[in-house]
Amino acid sequence: MKATLTLFIVILLAACSSKLYIPSEANVNKREPATLAELGQGHDIYKKSCGGCHRLYKPDSRIREQWTKVLKVMGPKAKLSDDKVALVYKYLVNH
């Protein structure tokens, strides 16, 4: 019984975790103009600045317009410059 409960908890946690994509050449300019370096920077900022306060949402969980609205509110809360918000946006929409 104890092993079954432990297995259930592990499976539940794995199902709830966010899988972020690692930027590659396939993501460059996919939906918005972005270099691989910009996507990598956006990924790192997203993990550090956004993930420091709450769970991270998968980039494909929202469309571009929704990410724009989210970042408009959350960018200032995370004390991100406009340039950093732009990098996070590029990362999120070029999944």
51-93: per-residue pLDDT in tens? Answer: 999 999 999 999 999 999 999 999 999 999 999 999 999 999 9
Encoded amino acid at 39, one letter: L
CA 72 – CA 18 distance, rounded (Å): 22
Whole-model pTM: value is 0.81
pLDDT for position 19: 84
How confident is the model over 13-44, as pLDDT tens digits? Answer: 444 445 899 999 999 999 999 999 999 999 99
| Cα-to-chain-centroid distance, residue 28 | 16
